[in-house]
Structure 1
């Protein structure tokens, strides 16, 4: 089939939600004038090695945040954020933090998630995350569409949970499993197997 997005697809669910998958999940923590916030975003990835850099995109808005959501609004204030990486053991906590609360509600407390302070920025992080990337925002910019925002950041500090370093000294989540967003309402991937291909 072929379709132009502006004309619709005619399927029961939007295939775009599942075509680019699995998508890693950036579990974004922020601090702003209204307190601490935690929310997962599946439009997330790393963008550079040196210096290490990341991006995430926010879609949709909340009535109490104008044209965006809590995470982007607070990053626009503070210019910092933390990307927390959840493994399979934290999937339920991550999912609990997807609930939409009024601005000012602390999702760490609401979902019972232990928080710790970052070292290089004034921001909370998920204490039990497989990894946490402390970031300084370099750009917060609108994308096409009514409430689509892109946030770019430079990583200033990296926390890695001790059990996520294997005997070869590599970051490795195969023991517990990476999780990724597959699309549609509740589809996720649980990755415990990998394979190697050497570039020619």
Structure 2
């Protein structure tokens, strides 16, 4: 199958991108509005773009109506600050809830039942139970593409790392984190590691095995096919629709 990207509309392009660039790290971004209302939302167009100084990149689409700017972007633009929080398995349910499109005046920490922790440099609160959080100052933002997705670059000014996962020599005990990544419109628990070369028998077994579902759904279940899925990456309701 060869597909000409120029022949696709934005929704089909998005579906292909999120299903083929996997797994993706989740930037669980906390922000604060000018009025002091805390916001929390996950973004999987998230990566590192610089080392010294450390710079992170977030790409933010509009809300599901295709017009309204997301609160996270507005807050970062207006205040110049944000925090990224690492998503782990115990926090996955709350993270998913914060992907819903709440009114701007509502606090997503409260909606998701999450405790806030004070940051050191920025005014934005952190997710208290996140094992790793990064305080960021806005470096720059710009738009990309016909639909003007907003790309935000933030300079990390403070790392918050839980003591038990910080190892000698500045290493992180990643095997102890139970990090969660994004697969298309679903999530994946990172629970195995390897180095190469692998035994050929292990390659044969694992390369033909379907992913195991932790939620008990059928192996062919697709979150993208559900009615509450949106091409904005937002969750339109808290209930799955057939």
TM-score by length of 1: 0.87
- Secondary structure of 1:15's partner? helix
2:58 matched residue in structure 1: 56
- From the two aligned structures, give the one with the greater strand fraction: 1
1:87 has 2:111 as partner: no
Question: May I ask how many residue pairs the two structures share in their alignment?
Answer: 193
**Distance in 2 between the 1:145 and 1:113 partners?**
36
Task: Determine which structure has greater relative contact order: mean sequence separation of CA pairs < 8 Å that are 6+ residues apart, divided by chain length.
Answer: 1
Q: In structure 2, how many angstroms separate the alpha carbons of the residues matched to 1:171 and 1:149? A: 31
2:60 and 2:70 in contact (8 A); partners too: yes
SS at match of 2:15: coil
Match of 2:15 in 1: 14
Where has structure 1 moved over 4 Å in runs of 4 or more? 166-169
Residue 177 in 1 paired to residue 145 in 2?
no
More helix by share: 2
- Structure 1 equivalent of residue 47 of structure 2: 45
Match of 2:223 in 1: none
Equivalent position of 1:135 in the other structure:
136
Structure 2 gaps of 5+ residues are: 197-242
- 1:14 Cα deviation from its structure 2 partner: 2.8
Instruction: Classify the secondary structure of the residue corresponding to 1:28.
Output: strand
Gaps of 5+ in 1: none
Check conservation: 2:131, 2:177, Cα contact below 8 A: no
1:152 deviation in Å? 0.1
Deviations 1:19-40 (A, max 9, x none): 1110000000001124110000
Q: Following the alignment from structure 1 to structure 2, what is the Cα–Cα distance between the partners of residues 31 and 62?
A: 21
Q: Secondary structure at the match of 1:99?
A: coil
* SS of residue paired to 1:189: strand
Which one has the largest radius of gyration? Answer: 2
Equivalent residue runs for 1:159-198 within 5 Å? 159-166=160-167, 170-183=171-184, 185=185, 187-196=186-195
The CA RMSD over aligned residues, in Å, is 2.4
Q: Which range moved further: 17-26 or 160-169?
A: 160-169
Distance 2:140 2:172 in 1: 28
Does residue 4 of structure 1 match 2:8? no
Contact 1:68 1:147 in 2 (8 A): no
Closer, same or farther: CA 38–112 of 1 in aligned 2, 3 Å: same
Counterparts of 1:196 and 1:48 in 2: how far apart (Å)? Answer: 26
Structure-2 separation of matches of 1:114 and 1:143:
34
Deviation at 1:173, TM superposition (A): 3.2
